[in-house]
């Protein structure tokens, strides 16, 4: 999923079963950082409003 220009600090991240991982602390072209963990942008399957969902 191409997230260029869409990512914002504070967006909420959810995984399978709507488990909340936390909020976006920072990001770069390839990764999003949540709770000190790195999540590749390629892991996201969809965005709904201020929420990102890991596939």
Q: For position 45, what pLDDT does the model report?
A: 94
Q: For position 26, what pLDDT does the model report?
A: 96
**Within a domain: residue 4?**
no
Number of independent structural domains in the chain: 1
**Within a domain: residue 50?**
yes
Residue numbers of the domain that contains 27 = 12-54
39 touches 13 (CB < 8 A): yes
pLDDT in tens, 18-53: 999 999 999 998 999 999 999 999 999 999 999 999
Question: Among 52, 34, 55, which Cα is nearest to 3's?
Answer: 52
**What is the pTM for the complete model shown?**
0.85
């Amino acid at each position: 999923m191409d997230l260029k220009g869409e990512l914002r600090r504070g967006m909420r991240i959810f995984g399978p079963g709507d488990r909340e991982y936390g909020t976006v602390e920072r990001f770069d072209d390839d990764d999003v950082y949540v709770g000190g963990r790195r999540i590749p942008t390629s892991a996201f399957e969809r965005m709904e409003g201020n929420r990102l969902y890991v596939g």
